Amino acid sequence: MRLALFAIAGLLTATAAHAAPVTYKIDPDHTYPSFEADHLGISVWRGKFNKSSGTVHYDKATGTGDLDVTVLPASIDYGQDALNKWAQGKDLFDVRKHPTVVYRGRFDKPVDGVPTEVTGELTMHGVTKPVTLKLNWLRCMPHPMLKREMCGADAVTTIRRDEFGMDVGKDYKFNMDVTLRIQVEAIAGQ
């Protein structure tokens, strides 16, 4: 009988140690993917996207999981209305034809149980390419007001926009590299 109780206790302990991934919903009020792009080789233009959504599945015990994020390029914000409107048009994002930018990936290369990369695919302007995000950090904690688990991350990568069919300015020697900086917060149980 004692042996059976020890076996059951051991099984319960092993099951608790391998918790299932938690589902987090991206908080659109605290997530603003931003970018940096060349302007004629003389300055760097910066902007952000004001509307994004998505879901993250993350197992803190193993540092594994996946994510699915959608960004609305119509929400582009350079801080200049005329430039925002131009970027939404056919010369760049063509938001009528391509209303979303989607990134799907999985957490990768954990160090001390915390992933350091997200390996996935970016679909933008009708083109899908592999893109790896470097995670500068990923942290989770109880949300002080909502009393639910929340996680936040800071990620960065560089893509070539001409590989996504967005080569405006290439004839004028614009650098096609665009640095994406993504700060994201996501809340469990929404």
User: What averages of pLDDT result for each successive group of 10 residues across the chain (190 residues)?
Assistant: 41 51 95 93 94 96 94 97 96 96 96 95 98 96 92 97 94 94 90
d(Cα 85, Cα 150) in Å, to the nearest integer?
A: 34
d(Cα 47, Cα 180) in Å, to the nearest integer?
A: 10
CATH code matching the domain that covers 20-188, chosen among 2.60.120.680, 2.40.128.110, 3.20.20.450, 1.20.120.430:
2.40.128.110
**Residue 6: predicted pLDDT:** 39
d(Cα 132, Cα 109) in Å, to the nearest integer?
A: 11
pLDDT in tens, 101-115: 999 999 999 999 899
d(Cα 167, Cα 127) in Å, to the nearest integer?
A: 13
d(Cα 179, Cα 36) in Å, to the nearest integer?
A: 5
Beta strands at 34-39 and 64-71: parallel, antiparallel or unpaired:
unpaired
The structural domains of the chain, with segments of one domain joined by +, span 20-188
Enter the pTM of the model.
0.86
